[in-house]
């Protein structure tokens, strides 16, 4: 499996299928890719904020890709003729050639900022993506103690954790979360997109590794293979 970071919370995961998570491309000042160059089978979305829902509609149309997200987001996308698989907390779906996506809680907010929307964004979420290996994309969230349970239940190979502060947990909280989750590899995300979420990922790495986690820091456009 390959995991490529496109900045902010956007990743391309290449396992049994090619999946993009939180496809914030246009408007993302650190993303090295263009929407028209994105090739995926599945679009997974943690919540409806514009820096996460992003370019989902255009990417879905370009690729004939399905959206996997909470019910209200899938309903919103259906207005544009996009097919989707709706899931909700604790539930999941098998999709594509062998990918399973399960929804877990996140503590944040969710709501579309697009003009003339008809649907609220419902609840924010984290996603367990199993496509050969198991990835926990925490979405935008504070730290919460049930991250221990997420680690116990799903035993992720990789945890993708926000560290930016202000809108999510910061590096100190994320270091503790990494200890609780016990993934083989933890990758920081949702930082340094703008000054408001400026963080030093090396400081996160230091704090998390003091707690026994292994951290891999990616630059936008870089990938790891597991």
Query: Alpha helices of 20-110 — where are they, by DSSP H?
Result: 50-53, 56-63, 71-78
Per-residue pLDDT of the chain (226 residues; tens, 9 = 90+): 999 999 999 999 999 999 999 999 999 999 999 999 999 999 999 999 999 999 999 999 999 999 999 999 999 999 999 999 999 999 999 999 999 999 999 999 887 766 555 556 678 999 999 999 999 999 999 999 999 999 999 999 999 999 999 999 999 999 999 999 999 999 999 999 999 999 999 999 999 999 999 999 999 999 999 9
Whole-Å CA distances, 215 to 69, 94, 176:
27, 29, 13
CATH topology of domain 2-221: Metallo-beta-lactamase; Chain A (3.60.15)
- The predicted model scores a pTM of 0.96
CA nearest neighbour of 140 among 162, 112, 113, 165: 162
* pLDDT of amino acid 24: 98
């Amino acid at each position: 499996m390959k995991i490529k970071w496109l900045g902010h919370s956007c990743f391309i995961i290449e396992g049994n299928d090619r999946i993009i998570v939180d496809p914030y491309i246009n408007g993302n000042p650190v993303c090295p890719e263009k929407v028209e160059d994105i090739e995926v089978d599945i679009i997974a979305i943690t919540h409806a904020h514009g820096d996460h829902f992003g370019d989902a509609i255009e990417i879905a149309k370009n690729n004939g890709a399905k959206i996997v997200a909470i019910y209200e987001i899938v309903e919103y996308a259906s207005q544009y003729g996009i097919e989707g698989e709706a899931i909700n907390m604790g539930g999941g779906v098998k999709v594509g050639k062998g990918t399973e996506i399960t929804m877990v809680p996140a503590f944040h907010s969710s709501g579309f900022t697009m003009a003339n929307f008809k649907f609220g964004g419902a609840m924010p979420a984290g996603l367990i993506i199993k496509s050969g290996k198991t990835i926990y994309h925490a979405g935008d969230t504070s730290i919460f103690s049930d991250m221990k349970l997420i680690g116990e239940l799903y035993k992720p190979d990789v945890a993708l954790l926000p560290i930016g502060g202000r809108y999510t947990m910061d590096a100190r909280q994320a270091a503790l979360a990494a200890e609780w989750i016990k993934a083989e590899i933890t990758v920081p995300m949702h930082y340094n997109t703008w000054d408001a979420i400026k963080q030093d990922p090396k400081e996160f790495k230091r704090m998390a590794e003091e707690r026994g986690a292994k951290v891999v820091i990616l630059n936008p456009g870089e990938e790891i293979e597991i």
